[in-house]
C-alpha cells in the first residue's frame, strides 16, 4: 500500500468525506513536491554561484604590472566577486 493510500485510509471517513480527503492529500503532496523543487533550486543556485566565485577569482591578474589597466581589470574582478557573494548572502536569508 502506498503512503498516499495509507493516509487516505486513515483520514477518509474518520475526519472528512472521501472527496475532501482526496483533495487534501493531493494539495499536501503538491505542496511537498513544490517545496522540494524550491529547495533543490536553491541548492543548485548556491552551487552555481559558488562556482562563479571560483571561476571569477581565477581571472585575477597575479602578475599585475601595476599599470592602470591591470589595476582596473583586477578591481572589476573583485567587484564581480563581491556582487556574486552578495547574491549568495541574499539567497541564504
The whole-number mean pLDDT for each consecutive block of 10 residues of the chain, a chain of 93 residues, reads 66 70 74 70 81 90 85 90 87 55
Instruction: Give yes or no for a contact between 25 and 7, defined as CB atoms under 8 angstroms apart.
Output: yes
What are the φ and ψ backbone dihedral angles of 60, each rounded to 5 degrees?
-60, 140
For the chain, the domain total comes to: 1
Cell of 83: 556582487
Query: Residue 71 and residue 45: Cα distance in Å, rounded?
Result: 30
* pLDDT at residue 28, as a whole number: 74
| 80/13 Cα distance (integer angstroms) | 59
Element (H, E) at 59: none
Which residues form the domain of 88?
Answer: 3-92
Instruction: Name the grid cell of 23.
Output: 483533495
Amino acid at each position: 500500500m502506498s503512503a498516499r493510500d495509507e493516509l487516505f485510509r486513515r483520514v477518509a471517513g474518520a475526519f472528512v468525506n472521501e472527496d475532501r480527503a482526496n483533495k487534501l492529500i493531493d494539495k499536501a503532496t503538491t505542496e511537498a513536491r513544490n517545496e522540494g523543487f524550491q529547495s533543490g533550486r536553491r541548492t543548485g543556485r548556491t552551487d552555481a554561484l559558488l562556482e562563479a566565485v571560483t571561476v571569477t577569482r581565477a581571472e585575477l591578474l597575479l602578475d599585475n604590472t601595476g599599470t592602470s589597466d591591470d589595476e582596473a581589470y583586477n578591481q572589476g574582478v573583485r567587484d564581480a566577486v563581491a556582487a556574486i557573494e552578495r547574491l549568495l548572502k541574499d539567497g541564504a536569508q
